[in-house]
Amino acid sequence: MERWNGIASPAYILDEEALIRNLRLIQQVKEEAGISIILAFKGFAMWSVFDTVSQYLDGATASSLAEARLCYEEMRTKAHTYSVAYIPREFDEIAKYSSHITFNSLAQFERFKGTLTSYQNQISVGLRVNPLYSEVETDLYNPCASGSRLGVMPKDLEHGLPLGVEGIHFHALCENDSHVLEKTLSSLELHYPKALQQARWVNMGGGHLMTRKGYDIEHLIRLLKQFRKKHQVDIIMEPGSAIAWETGHLMASVLDIVENDGIRTAILDISFTCHQPDTLEMPYRPEIIGASSEPIAGQPKYRLGGVSCLAGDFIEAYSFDHELKVGDQVIFEDMMHYTMVKTTMFNGVTHPDIVIHKTDGTQHLVRRFGYEDYKNRLS
């Protein structure tokens, strides 16, 4: 805990050294496989470190006008843009910020292809497809679930890509490994043979957790090189979690201890629904320094409660190596990816600071949120 002395609670704390370590590994994959790897803003959009990220990656993918503009302004490059459906009044501006635009349906492509003619060869057009294979177990995150609204189905591309389309995009992984990717590519080849024959590029989306311990990097590189050679295509990958995997923490403090029906709840100065929504949506149990998510005999147990008024704003009990008291810090690990990007200001709950723990050991306060941030969201 000493390394964070002087940081006020609550705070998201990015470890710059860990981020650079991840980026170097991803750069190795990119260079050895001969592909492009871009940042997915939906997983990590902390633009205060984009100068660092840009040294290792090839840009970013955007899913909205706001993300495309952020890429253009803060990464100083045009985005690879994909949206489930484009808002007509925004499309021309999106095009100005984009090097690639991918459509979710043939109807969307037909609707906007006329607008793209004015950009001539400045924008490469793609279609999202459904490879009909996924090992994502939680339906909320499974883009290949039955009836999915995401991607053009094989029957609609049995004769190949429409004139003007030169890329294929799929996103069917979620924190998976290269062996799952291999099976996904086999399904893609089975269901979209003519489209693959015509494609100039294939965007393999995100969910490639190559920075996780034990990931088979060499297998990934071989797989990508073989696919690129076999189909004579450029490959793009856009991992979200992998960039910021295990690069930071959420520091909270105990405000109160409440006991009812034999359950002790430590009330924290953060909210799970506001600041860690995946713990309720997925759901998953984050690691906590000095605690275990599994009961340990003889150790004090505490359910952890958020500070919002939502009845379900809590996660079930952890065993701690000491009795908690008001003022104690509770440090949640691996809180950079798919966390800050999903936060809300429900109830006007104080939003955590954003802090960078620099490689030289100093702390840099990026942002402190206040009343005006809450008020102006709905003004």
Band of pLDDT at residue 118, cut at 50, 70 and 90: confident
**pLDDT at 2 (0 to 100):** 55
Q: In angstroms, what CA-CA distances link 136 with 188, 190, 201?
A: 16, 20, 25
The pLDDT of residue 29 is above 90? yes
Q: How confident is the prediction for the chain on average, in pLDDT?
A: 96
**pLDDT at 378 (0 to 100):** 85
What span, in angstroms and rounded, lies between the C-alpha atoms of 116 and 15?
41
Could you check whether the bond before residue 300 is cis, i.e. omega within 30 degrees of 0? no
**pLDDT at 6 (0 to 100):** 81
Range with the poorest average pLDDT among 70-79, 118-127, 161-170, 315-324: 118-127
**pLDDT at 3 (0 to 100):** 62
Q: Residue 109: which of 131, 85, 79 has the closest Cα?
A: 85
Per-residue pLDDT, averaged over 86-112, amounts to: 97
Question: Could you read off the pLDDT of 155-199 as tens digits, one per residue?
Answer: 999 999 999 999 999 999 999 999 999 999 999 999 999 999 999
Pairing, β 39-40 against β 60-62: parallel
Give this prediction's pTM.
0.94
What span, in angstroms and rounded, lies between the C-alpha atoms of 67 and 63?
6
Burial class (CB in 10 A: 0-12, 13-18, 19+), 156: middle
**pLDDT at 324 (0 to 100):** 97
What would the CATH number be for the domain defined by 34-244? 3.20.20.10
Q: In angstroms, what CA-CA distances link 369 with 31, 179, 218, 366?
A: 39, 42, 43, 10
Looking at the chain, the domain(s) classified CATH 3.20.20.10 span 34-244
Per-residue pLDDT, averaged over 112-122, amounts to: 89
Band of pLDDT at residue 55, cut at 50, 70 and 90: very high
Per-residue pLDDT, averaged over 11-32, amounts to: 98
CA diameter of the chain: 70
Q: Is CATH 2.40.37.10 the right assignment for the domain spanning 2-12+248-335+343-376?
A: yes
Per-residue pLDDT, averaged over 317-323, amounts to: 96
The pLDDT of residue 372 is above 70? yes
**pLDDT at 120 (0 to 100):** 76
What span, in angstroms and rounded, lies between the C-alpha atoms of 253 and 276?
15
The pLDDT of residue 140 is above 80? yes
Q: Residue 272: which of 322, 320, 334, 314 has the closest Cα?
A: 314
**pLDDT at 280 (0 to 100):** 94
**pLDDT at 138 (0 to 100):** 85
How does DSSP classify residue 218? H
Per-residue pLDDT, averaged over 206-225, amounts to: 97
Range with the poorest average pLDDT among 47-56, 130-139, 225-234: 130-139
Per-residue pLDDT, averaged over 192-218, amounts to: 97
Looking at the chain, the domain(s) classified CATH 2.40.37.10 span 2-12+248-335+343-376
**pLDDT at 79 (0 to 100):** 98
